[in-house]
Amino acid sequence: MPRPANLENMEPMTSDAAPANAARGSLYGRLWRSLPRELAYLFIAFPIAVTGFTAMYSLFWAGVGTLVTFFIGVILIIASLYVARGFGTLDLALLRWTGRPPIEKPEWQDARARTGFFGWVRAVLGNGHYWLYLLYVMLLDFIIATITWTIMISWVALGLGGVTLWAWSALPEVQVRSGWIWQLLENSRGLDTVLAYNVVCFVGGVILLVTLPFVTRGLVSLHWLVARGVLGAWRSDTLRREVATLSDSRGAAHSAEGHSLRRLERDIHDGPQQRLVRMQMDLAAAERQLDSDPEKARGLIADARQQSKDALEELRALSRGFAPPILLDRGLVAALESAVVRCSVPAHVVSELPDGTALPQEIERNAYFIASEALTNAEKHSGATDIEVRVALRVDEQTWVDIAVTDNGAGGAFVIAGHGIAGLEERLRGLGGTLEVHSPEGGPTIVTAHLPVTTTSSSSVA
């Protein structure tokens, strides 16, 4: 029997309507799941606001009233600012507990606070966030909490009262004989006034309870919006932190560059330069002995040739500290594999880079240098019998190259200014990265470098 044509037409309608109904049901279900926390917040926000208002009013105006003594007045005003900060921070935590998005906290640190008592006073009194928190606790939160608490209590009480009126109004000691609804129904003919009144109140109570999740969400959202505007961080705070971070990174980069140049100067002085001086002296001695003692001159020339060969090897080794040819030709992993082959301790490379990854040359050069330096430190100081160099690519808010050098040595590694790991930390800070060192006594030691791939170069990552 052929299927009726109207069923053919109904199928698309059903398939389209189902997701919409599911989405609405899912949203309404989420509102009900968050209802207990939102009700709890609205219920406790009012007594907290009243407590904060009372404390702020007493402390602040006591401070203003005693400003003639200066010291006592200023201390009381600063105390009120700190208490306001505490109440504001508590409200931010409670709002986050309800499920609202977290609000970024302000930047409270101020360099002036480290310059002594008067610097601390200027830092606190000159921070606009403290005064906004004071305004919030002394005025805004008190007003909003009073309004939202009243609406919430009234909505819940009327809803529950309307739904249960039919039960407790039947009791002989309870008589409902007031209200405009009762008056309207009583003037209508042909109606059982009590029954009609119970039905109307029941329907109204159901409507109030069904819409309660939307009401609590709106009231909590009002608290959240005001808190975000008054208690949250400013854009200038973020810019100030970024400027400070960039300044620190630039200073660290200059320091790391100076450290690298001093080390390069020392390595050249102690290595190739000494060999070239020795070769020059051998050649001069050979020249003097060429006529009187050809055999001795021949030996001196052979020594000079060996010195030139050793100097060349040392120069090649130094050049690998900048950018070995294999790094430019075959990439980071191949260069690291070449580095571990030259290591006197058995070592291996584990690459977790996705196939076809092509990092910018500057990122590869820094990653190679950092890994090579960490490998050298482990080779010289750890007493390890096995070293692993692991490199991976990680993407969260931006792209990172993670390099972990793990050895099974004695452990106990720590940062000493101007040496080894400290140099790596300084170099990474200059690049905007971070260094993690995990080295318990007995090992293993894990040195992990997180190197950011900058926005300008991240497009090169395939």
- Give residue 120's pLDDT: 79
- Give residue 433's pLDDT: 83
pLDDT per residue of the chain (462 residues) written in tens, 0 to 9: 344 444 334 444 444 444 444 444 578 888 889 899 999 999 999 999 999 999 988 888 888 888 877 788 888 998 999 999 999 999 999 999 998 999 888 877 766 666 677 777 888 888 888 899 999 999 999 999 999 999 999 999 888 888 887 766 665 555 555 565 655 655 665 555 567 767 777 888 889 999 999 999 999 999 999 999 999 887 766 556 555 555 555 555 555 555 666 666 666 666 677 777 777 887 888 888 777 888 887 887 888 787 787 777 767 666 655 566 777 778 888 888 888 887 888 899 998 888 877 788 888 888 888 888 888 888 887 788 889 999 998 887 788 899 999 988 888 776 555 555 777 777 777 777 888 888 888 878 888 888 888 644 444 444
In whole angstroms, what is the distance from residue 11 CA to residue 408 CA? Answer: 65
Instruction: Find, among 230, 227, 71, 229, the residue nearest to 148 by Cα.
Output: 227
Give the contacts of 340 (CB within 8 A, at least 6 positions apart): 347, 348, 349, 375, 387, 389
Residue with token string 């006073």: 121
Q: State the CB neighbour count (10 A cutoff) for residue 209.
A: 16
In whole angstroms, what is the distance from residue 87 CA to residue 53 CA? Answer: 10
- Give residue 410's pLDDT: 80
